[in-house]
Chains A and B, each alone.
Chain A
Amino acid sequence: MIRVENLVKHFGGVKAVNGVSLTIEEGTITGLIGPNGAGKTTLFNCIAGAFPPTGGDIYLDGERITGLKPHELFSRGLLRTFQIAHEFSTLTVRDNLMMVPGEQPGESLWNACVFPTRAHTREKEISDRVDDIVDFLNIKHVEHELAGNLSGGQKKLLELGRTMMVDAKIVFLDEVGAGVNRTLLNTIGDAIVRLNQERGYTFCMIEHDMAFISRLCDPVIVMAEGEVLATGTAEEVQQDEGVIEAYLGGGRKVAKNTDAAS
């Protein structure tokens, strides 16, 4: 579904992503893990169009999407959430969700003034969908709150809710579980599995919680220092020598150096 070929992104002298090639198969929940600074979020940003890559190509269903703008990708069914939750803080939770679907007739002044019923019918459909989602995500009690007043965890749920407002093909989740308590994490996990099975969403998620990853993700891709280190099931990558090296390597080197010194 997504094919990344030899992707490179440099910020000045920093090689954040340095020649990454990977594929994300349709219907999977692919995990993307790696130590801090491995280039995971940069990779997401390149794929989701936040900034163009320095080199390399990205394909969605065989179509080259390198360097397209976020809203162009959105209309092709490629959605993302943010590591630090984004929301329209001065709109209510409900309006935040209502905002997501594009091409609403109410969007043009002409339609809003001349064909109010047309705008209204479409808005009703979207509104019904919002009802389902707030129930599904257990945020019905805060639907009329301003989104800016939500807790961190609720904002994460809202992020996930946004991706459910349209028929997405693939959703990139950037640490959707970070800073969220166990119960809420399970709710989010269940939601992801259900979306994957019932609606056929493909997911690619950056996550640090290994238990969460093991439960949801297959396959898991491990990145370190801007490169792909290993790919496999959660168990496989946890036993991979290179991966252990990447996570604990710095510590070992320090230990060796101390030995040498003494």
Chain B
Amino acid sequence: MSTDTINALVLFANFILVPGITYGSQLALGALGITLVYAVLRFSNFAHGDTMAFGCMFTILTTWWLQSMGVSLGPLPTALLALPVGIAMTAVLVIVFDKLVYKHYREQKSAPVVFVIASVGVMFVTNGLVRFIIGPNDQQFSDGMRFLVRARDFKKATGLDEGLTIKLTQGLTVVIAIVAMLLLFYFLQRTRTGKAMRAYSDNEDLALLSGIDPKKVVITTWLIVAALTTLAGVLYGLDKSFKPFTYFQLLLPMFAAAIVGGVGKPLGAILGGFIVAFSEILLTYAYKKLIGYIAGERPETLVQLLSTDYKFAVSFMILVVVLLWRPTGILRGKTI
């Protein structure tokens, strides 16, 4: 293989593969939460992005407190230690909102659209809470070791022109996401509670006529959703930075991911997360250098299909295309 080909591969890995896998894992975790709420509680939860921000905010606050006490995890980010607090606070938040808002509509057997509108209200309240507590600004809370692989070291070791950078947070994101997904699937497939959740999602009337306690199913679902959203939020924040508005914007790619894969199907949410992440990156990447390595001659333009400003438009396009051509999504979930 010629050096140019290898350089092209490294370039591809550095700017597309690594960021795509990282961003895909974050979206997948977020979309899993959306899909679980949809499957078990039967509504599209618009408050999901802001719930993510809420969980991340509490993790940040706890991280700062730990840092001020001089506690750290060495090379790992301190936020990992603060994560359980963030998850617990988010669990309290979603369960309080369930008791205050959704429970009422569940008892009334309201139409799904009523739940959706109620969740928009919950979204505004959560958003306000987050801005009130931590403010609307950007927050950095990543500490510990920065890189797993450094571009400079990589170039020196391989003698290539192109460097490969893998941030520690990127590695962590992928590892944590994989562990969380495995645990979730084990839970849904093997445990009594997981099966009860699937049964409740499958046929609510029948579930009510057997020994399944709907209250427990609802609470368990919210607990899992709280854990997944907080994880997604913290991993995204560690990788990039925390800003409440960004989390609200993440709602669109996360919904696109859940719907592309087949809403209500956990596997679909993961698949969708990666599809949306790679579409965004592939469509907004400037291919000038990559083509240069492959064709031997660099084109004069950037060869960028879309400006990165249009990043969110990609999710929107995916959403429109899927809803037109295959509204049930790739894995044939429930139609919305």
Contacts and interface: CB of A to CB of B under 8 A. Distances in A.
A244 to B, nearest CB: 36
B199 A74 contact: no
A112 B212 CA distance: 15
A94 to B, nearest CB: 11
Contacts of B298: none
B214 interface: yes
Given A70-B208, A99-B211, A119 B192 contact: yes
- B interface majority secondary structure: helix
B210 A90 contact: no
Contacts of B195: 91, 95, 98-99
B214 A88 contact: no
A104 B199 CA distance: 15
B211 A109 contact: no
Contacts of B207: 88, 99
A87 B210 contact: no
A71 B191 contact: no
A36 interface: no
Given A88-B202, A90-B202, A106 B193 contact: yes
B317 to A, nearest CB: 31
Interface string B192-210: 1101101100110111111
B308 interface: no
Contact of B192 (A70, A88, A106): A106
B116 to A, nearest CB: 24
A125 interface: no
Interface string A148-172: 0000000000000010001000000
B193 A102 contact: no
Nearest to A71: B208
B192 A90 contact: no
A103 B214 CA distance: 12
Contacts of B209: 48, 70-71, 74, 79-80, 86
A100 interface: yes
Contacts of A107: 192-193, 196, 213, 216
A69 interface: yes
B168 interface: no
Interface string B267-294: 0000000000000000000000000000
Interface in B206-257: 206-214, 216, 220, 223
A56 interface: no
A225 interface: no
A166 B212 CA distance: 13
A89 interface: yes
A90 B172 CA distance: 34
A108 interface: yes
Contacts of B220: 109
Contacts of B216: 107-108
A130 B299 CA distance: 69
B193 A109 contact: yes
Given A107-B193, A108-B216, A109-B220, A102 B211 contact: yes
B212 A99 contact: yes
A48, A102, A109, A166 — most chain B CB neighbours (10 Å)? A109
B210 A91 contact: no
A100 B198 contact: no
Contacts of A90: 198, 202
Nearest to B214: A71
A137 B191 CA distance: 26
A101 interface: yes
A71, A89, A103 — most chain B CB neighbours (10 Å)? A71
Interface string A26-54: 00000000000000000000001010000
A100 B196 contact: no
Contact of B210 (A69, A99, A109): A99
A166 B209 CA distance: 12
Interface in A97-140: 98-104, 106-109, 112, 119, 123
A109 B226 CA distance: 14
Contacts of A70: 205, 208-209
Nearest to A90: B202
A11 to B, nearest CB: 16
A99 B192 CA distance: 8
A69 B212 CA distance: 13
Nearest to B209: A70
Interface of A: 48, 50, 69-71, 74-75, 79-80, 86-91, 95-96, 98-104, 106-109, 112, 119, 123, 162, 166
7 contacts: A71-B208, A90-B198, A99-B210, A100-B210, A109-B220, A112-B192, A162-B210
Chain A to chain B: the 9 pairs with minimum beta-carbon distance, closest first: A102-B211, A106-B192, A86-B206, A88-B199, A88-B202, A100-B210, A70-B208, A70-B209, A101-B211
Given A71-B213, A90-B198, 14 more contacts: A70-B208, A70-B209, A79-B209, A87-B206, A90-B202, A102-B210, A102-B212, A103-B211, A107-B196, A109-B193, A109-B223, A112-B191, A112-B192, A166-B211
